[in-house]
Structure 1
């Protein structure tokens, strides 16, 4: 498959899905953030505008109420003053007998009439309107009498007494004006309290709503990012079989599709690498077997007696051919693991015999380095695949032999702990650096303290051993220990009836 081909396939396959998702998601991540910000801020903006309108309405009503109350109070005060002026002018005319003094009365009457007309134009209550009409009618009647008696002061005596009820009516109207001011002030206080209550209730309702909206959009924004992060982490851990799916804005979904394309490409490369290892391993195994058998025949003297140096060379060829065959078998086992072709064939097996057989196979390497092996193992029977447990133990022991210095020692301890078997292998080598602890079981990882050998390892032994252990329902751990050396522990259930597959 060409590198550019999946692009077309990806767009063609995801086109129907994209059309469906676009109905519910914005096209870009930025648009989603902007929509979220607007929707979160909108309730608060509405509450603010509503509060401003309420306050403005309250201020307008208060202004009108105060203005009208002030007009009524001022007008009633003017009416009282003008009535007093008219009464005084009539009395002065009556006392002095000078009709020209009534000019003050007529001026006061004109001002009274103008003020009364202005008051009647205001929005008075019905009772105030009645008092003002009665006051105007009474004053008009007095004005008619004064106009008739202006040429003769004799009729003014009776008119003076009419000003008393007129003044009382004007005072009643003035009192109602002040009472109106008090009522308007009370009404404004009630309106202010009501407006404040509305604002408080709006805040109590809209602030939690805005917080819920913010949380909802946080989830919507964070979800595709978490999905992308999880997909990258999964691919980084080598899990390439799970498809990458990202929900959200179109640009983030497109990024998820590109990640899935990269996953498929990595899966292809991984499959190509596995096929290459399998084919090369098979191709190498046949000629290597012939080389090993030929070296073995030379060592045994089948082709003629060898000199000491020739025998040493033949031994070197034979030993290294065995090492190469083990590396090739590791590659084949790893290839089988990658292709899921490693079913277990379980049967009861004596764990002590498995360990002793491994030590027998490693006898030559142990003797060459003059290593001391201390084996502590009770008779334990485990239900397992004997061949694969042998591979696990062989990898652990060969690692211990490889890393132990000449004249060093290896401790193998096998014991039962509750319903499990613990097999520990400890060497006296340089140990595993702290930085390598997390990667020591990774395929092809050699570590920082790999020994110098004619045939380097593949870095697959511990990875294969861990996979076989997990297939049995167990585990392999690298234990921390004081001093030199490395210590590995294999945990196996004594009896496990489940058919496990790698």
Structure 2
């Protein structure tokens, strides 16, 4: 079922579920409170009717007694009519109590009506019996009042009990709604989290170099669509890596033959086959042999399908002498700077630093070749290095034409090359890009600085504390 639903649908369903469960509980609570309010109003009206009926009956009984006694003494017809009207009013008030009268009240109503009837039928001379009947009438009315008060208190107790019961039900509904909402939220989280977690693991494996993974994915529709797209990306990466391998094999094969010829030629020159060499010539031939051997090693690495290791971005930090590394790199490119009669200046102490010497060597080679290439004949070439604030730094400065302001931000972009010196072809535009990439890999930076020289590139990187 989940494969037909998207993340949006699942989230919407989850939000609706989490919102509807408490809403249903609130609606149920509202109905319960409405019923309690209606019952309270009914109890209040009923209690008020009982209280009014009992009070009116007592007032009418006093009026009936007073009018009856005065009529006997004064023998006044109007007083007798008043007494008769009072007795009828007592009957009406008592009859009004009967429809919803509590237990025992109906008996008092019958007794009150009986006493009123007997008082009306009692002959005038029977004074003592009349006094006794009036006392009994008042006692019945008082007893009736007590019964009604007890019934009202019982109703109030029942109403309070109903309120407490509804309060308990409301608490139960609230806790049940909260538990249901939490369970639903947890279920929705698991439905979304577990597929994402599995997909995240596979993406991490893909980033780590694993290929042709199983991208079949359970879960929402858009997650399955993303899995299919990642599977296509996986296949595309496999194709690109195969193309890269074929490319490196082809390039290395094309380079192997001329490099072998160069190496053999330098060996013959070094052995004196073409004639004896003087010391300077032998030194230059040695530089050629060393560089040719380095290139052959890299070509052999490519042929062994070791291009990934040759171009590795993994760091191998260790202690090395930056000063000696600079000296070696200057010697390796000695024919280039000697051809322009450049005056070298190497400034810095011969101390140990911590870093990846292979990455630093590549950066130095690129900076040196650029500096030599753009330096005019008989110019100075300055190399400085040192430490500052826990960072190692080195600078390569030349006195060539410099870098125009309008292209300062472009020289580190891939495949972008500035104006070439007179008589030379433009560069590939990858040297400074690779150099800055290696610097950033070491958590460092490569910058073009403003200085007294025409162009001054500064490399700096932090030294790991545990290896210093």
Same fold (TM over 0.5): yes
Work out whether residues 395 and 465 of structure 1, in 8 Å CA contact, stay in contact via their aligned partners in 2. Answer: no
Alignment of 1:117-132 (within 5 A): 117-122=95-100, 124=102, 129=104
**Offset at residue 54 of structure 1 (A):** 3.7
Name which of structure 1's ranges 326-335 and 245-254 shifts more when overlaid on structure 2.
326-335
Tell me which residue corresponds to 2:456.
485
Tell me which residue corresponds to 2:136.
165
**Offset at residue 170 of structure 1 (A):** 1.9
Note closer, same or farther for the CA distance 1:141–1:177 as it changes in structure 2 (3 Å cut): closer
Tell me which residue corresponds to 2:403.
430
Tell me which residue corresponds to 2:232.
261
Alignment of 1:12-411 (within 5 A): 22=2, 27-84=5-62, 86-88=64-66, 90-91=68-69, 94-95=72-73, 108-109=86-87, 111-122=89-100, 124=102, 129=104, 133-134=107-108, 136-144=110-118, 146-147=120-121, 149=122, 153-155=124-126, 158-171=129-142, 173-174=144-145, 177=148, 241=210, 249-286=220-257, 338-340=307-309, 355-376=326-347, 393-404=364-375, 409-411=380-382
CA RMSD of aligned residues (A): 6.0
**Offset at residue 92 of structure 1 (A):** 5.5
Note closer, same or farther for the CA distance 1:492–1:448 as it changes in structure 2 (3 Å cut): same
CA distance in 2, matches of 1:347, 1:157: 130
Note closer, same or farther for the CA distance 1:257–1:391 as it changes in structure 2 (3 Å cut): same
Q: Tell me the SS of whatever aligns to 1:410.
A: strand
Name which of structure 1's ranges 50-59 and 371-380 shifts more when overlaid on structure 2.
371-380
CA distance in 2, matches of 1:159, 1:225: 97
Ranges in structure 2 where 5+ consecutive residues have no aligned partner: 275-290
Work out whether residues 87 and 163 of structure 1, in 8 Å CA contact, stay in contact via their aligned partners in 2. Answer: yes
CA distance in 2, matches of 1:189, 1:101: 48
Q: Tell me the SS of whatever aligns to 2:5.
A: coil
Note closer, same or farther for the CA distance 1:49–1:229 as it changes in structure 2 (3 Å cut): same
Ranges in structure 1 where 5+ consecutive residues have no aligned partner: 1-18, 304-322, 497-502
**Offset at residue 58 of structure 1 (A):** 2.4
CA distance in 2, matches of 1:191, 1:154: 56
Work out whether residues 259 and 295 of structure 2, in 8 Å CA contact, stay in contact via their aligned partners in 1. Answer: no
**Offset at residue 353 of structure 1 (A):** 5.9
CA distance in 2, matches of 1:82, 1:379: 125
**Offset at residue 122 of structure 1 (A):** 2.0
CA distance in 1, matches of 2:180, 2:375: 68
Note closer, same or farther for the CA distance 1:271–1:100 as it changes in structure 2 (3 Å cut): same
CA distance in 2, matches of 1:480, 1:461: 11
Note closer, same or farther for the CA distance 1:475–1:374 as it changes in structure 2 (3 Å cut): farther
Work out whether residues 417 and 426 of structure 2, in 8 Å CA contact, stay in contact via their aligned partners in 1. Answer: no
**Offset at residue 269 of structure 1 (A):** 1.7
Residue correspondences, number: 433
**Offset at residue 64 of structure 1 (A):** 1.6
**Offset at residue 252 of structure 1 (A):** 1.9
CA distance in 2, matches of 1:241, 1:431: 45
Note closer, same or farther for the CA distance 1:63–1:407 as it changes in structure 2 (3 Å cut): farther
Note closer, same or farther for the CA distance 1:357–1:91 as it changes in structure 2 (3 Å cut): closer
Work out whether residues 415 and 430 of structure 2, in 8 Å CA contact, stay in contact via their aligned partners in 1. Answer: yes
Residue by residue over 1:209-268, the C-alpha shift from the partner in whole angstroms, topping out at 9 and shown as x without a partner, is: 969977996897699889989999999xx8664769788523223213312421431342
Q: Tell me the SS of whatever aligns to 1:374.
A: strand
**Offset at residue 287 of structure 1 (A):** 5.1
CA distance in 2, matches of 1:458, 1:292: 28
Note closer, same or farther for the CA distance 1:222–1:427 as it changes in structure 2 (3 Å cut): farther
Name which of structure 1's ranges 56-65 and 474-483 shifts more when overlaid on structure 2.
474-483
Q: Tell me the SS of whatever aligns to 1:454.
A: coil
**Offset at residue 346 of structure 1 (A):** 13
